[in-house]
A and B are shown apart, each in its own frame.
With several copies, the nearest count.
Chain A
Amino acid sequence: MSFVEYSDFIQDGDVATVYMGHESMIAVKVQQGAQTQTRYGVLRHSTDLIGQRYGSKVTCSKGRWVYVLHPTPELWTVTLPHRTQILYTTDIATITMMLELKPGSFVCESGTGSGSLAHAILRTIAPTGHLHTVEFHQQRAEKVAEEFKEHRVDHLVTVRNQDVCKDGFGVTGVADAVFLDIPSPWEAVRHAKAAMKKQGGRVCSFSPCIEQVQKTCEALSDQGFEELSTIEVLLRVHDVRTVYLSLPDFGPDSPAQAQPDAAVKTPPSHAPIALKTTTLPRDIPGHTGYLTFATKPRT
């Protein structure tokens, strides 16, 4: 297993996703002899996981079963330990396309945060690209570097523990794309420019507040970036369900039927009709952040 390559069987040292139900998954570091407590009971790694095929159904000690899935950046995003606010798949997918990431891309990112986006970037730029990711919080930088190693993507990424607004990305003229998710992205715009290839590239800044967007757009314009475009993408998850709708009883149709003897005690025989439909959850994500994209022209 690696986050950039599928395997068929679970091996010692893998990070597997245990699927207990929709929105109920955990990531498990597979270790010979270890065991994991789930709410469906204990999973014994040596017997229940190692050597099993990814996608298998595994019965836990309580007799309930779970599926063990091969990790993907998307499963990691919903199971990773939150050390910061994270980016979710809907934004990540948009960022990946709009930054034109593909195998071989060189990317700079700050902050690394919990590594949600970084894993998705690495998946996309492997096997020949590279990610330079900057995180100014030391503890977090160390932790995420460790995870990259466990996920066997460390050869594709350099983690730097520094302040991107002060010190930049630590590389110059190499990036095809730069991503910013920091409180003051406008302070890092010149560093983004410096990190990018002279032939140009794409930049993206993620900010929750419109004031941040305004300042960042100004900085991007000032630094000569072009094709500025700010968007917002929201996900709606539809629940598929069958609902039952009653039919109204307008009473007997013809005068004949309206005779007392016909009406007495005849309960309305209007059975509800079934309707296959979808509903939205009562509350859905209303905002994650604004995504501002721009193109760095040749310089």
Chain B
Amino acid sequence: MADNVDDDSLYRIKEGDYVVLKRGDIFKAVQIQQKKKVAFEKQWFFLDNVVGQLYSTTFEIVSGGILQPRKPKDTESSTDAKGAGTDNRNIVDDGKSQKLTRDDIETLKEQGLKGQEIIQQLIENSSTFKNKTEYAQDKYIKKKKKKYENTVMILKPSCRILAMMYHGREPGKICHLRYDTLAQMLTLANIHAGSKVLVFETCAGLVLGSVMERMGGYGSVIQMYPGGGPVRAGVESFGFPSHFHDMLHEFPICHVNALLAGTLDTTAKDPSADSKQSNMAAKEEQNQPEAERQGSPEEQSMETNSGADGSHDPKKEEEEKRREAKAEERKVKQEEKRKKLAAAAALLESRNADGLVIASRFNPCPVLMGLLKFLSPSRPFVVYSQYKESLIECYTKLKEHGGTVNLKLTDTWLRHYQVLPNRTHPVLLMSGGGGYLLSGTTVAADHSKPSSSRQDGEPAEKRQKVTDTEG
């Protein structure tokens, strides 16, 4: 009890922290920076005041974008308890919808009413509200909240929160990977401290970060990345302590074949590879689906840009000098890169990784077949795809190829509930699809006696029941 003060220091917001802003179901990851305007749900504010405050505090946005801690009692919203659907048959639709005028609302604001109270007023003065479907009511409230609510909670980031944030705000950036599906992946791949895990993802770093969180800084994670460089914005949002980054390695997949063939030279720098990589970086950019490249500036700002390459130089006279410095810098960087590559290659060469996680916009089958070679026998792997068809291909290929057992093609179905007295029911909207997973376990390649008729490397019995006659 005496060390409460010490305890709390871990729970205080510091400058430079990666935090998550929350209002209702809406999340946004930002870094705490002094004097930096932050946009959230159509409002602007500064985070200067939150430094030193405790995590999970709710702040009120007051004039000038200043954040003030809200009084404890004033907890979040009770607009949920609205009683839709069940007793709305008595309302006469008199054609007049909202009885409050804009002036009325301004008056309420001047009287110091909180956003939530104003919304309550709006609901009570709306004759059509009760006539709306519950779904429409939710929509109405959300819209009004966006307009009038002015609180924000500041949270410590976690896999749970970031997975929900990405799914809610920018599903395209994470290949529409739903949080419950990500949860399955982490468990099916037996991610835990002390193991050596391969990750191939184009989910903004969310999957990588989630794997790292589950490993708690123990063991090693090798990010197998396509194109010019590893994408890590999502990893930064986790705000891991710096030692977590010691376990993180990266390896460009364009060297996979060379590594497997034993022809990868990591002792000297390879300029061709570098130029090739930047080529691909450009290409990478182009391959980004349009929807992802669009998006409002606000949404884009959610992600901190990783990598510091490609800077502009406006001043012509200093060009020469800077070019030299840059060349030097590049050399140092390349040396660093080489070392990193060598370290990652060393980890991979032994082909004894403990797990493989794939979640990308690439066709998963060749990715899987290529990376599976790095696993020890008796280790789990899991592949995510938004499309069942591409996992059918993986499944078929693995059955042909052998070397895996326990293959399962699954998806999960997620339902949220409203639990309120006399108004309990599933939430009226649900997520359409959470994506599909193919999971399995590697086994030792069969060098003993090639099994005569069967190639799938799995004992018969059960399988024979599900032949293709039915239907």
Contact = CB atoms under 8 A, between A and B. Distances in A.
In the complex, A touching B (Cβ < 8 A)? yes
A100 interface: yes
Contacts of A4: 192-194
A267 B366 contact: no
B255 to A, nearest CB: 5
B152 to A, nearest CB: 15
A234 B432 CA distance: 11
Contacts of B213: 102
A96 B417 contact: no
Interface of A: 4-6, 8, 19-24, 40, 53-57, 64-70, 72-74, 83-85, 89-90, 92-94, 96-98, 100, 102-104, 111, 120, 123-124, 126-128, 136-137, 139, 182-183, 197-200, 208-214, 217-218, 226, 228-255, 258, 260, 263-265, 267-268, 272-273, 275-290, 292, 295, 297-298
Given A53-B444, A252-B258, A275-B387, A290 B417 contact: yes
B446 A57 contact: yes
Interface stretch (B61-69, B81-89, B316-324): B81-89
A125 to B, nearest CB: 9
Nearest to A292: B419
B180 A94 contact: yes
Given A209-B422, A258-B263, A233 B389 contact: no
Contacts of A211: 422-424
Given A100-B160, A217-B419, A251 B180 contact: no
Contacts of B88: 84-85, 183
Contacts of B179: 97
B414 A84 contact: no
Interface stretch (B38-46, B302-310, B326-334, B462-470): B462-470
Interface stretch (B97-105, B118-126, B292-300, B453-461): B453-461
A139 B66 CA distance: 51
B280 A54 contact: no
Nearest to A60: B459
A137 B93 CA distance: 11
B462 A21 contact: yes
A117 B432 CA distance: 26
Interface string B172-193: 0000100110111011101011
A247 B363 contact: yes
Contact of A136 (B89, B92, B458, B461): B89
Q: Which DSSP category, helix, strand, loop or mixed, fits chain B's interface? A: mixed
Please classify how large the interface on chain B is, using the bins under 10, 10 to 19, 20 to 34, 35 or more. Answer: 35 or more
B192 to A, nearest CB: 5
B426 A286 contact: yes
A137 B90 contact: yes
Nearest to B467: A241
B396 interface: yes
Contact of A103 (B186, B218, B424): B218
A259 to B, nearest CB: 10
Contact of A93 (B187, B192, B367): B187
12 contacts: A55-B443, A85-B88, A97-B186, A104-B216, A183-B85, A233-B180, A238-B411, A243-B468, A247-B366, A252-B257, A258-B257, A264-B275
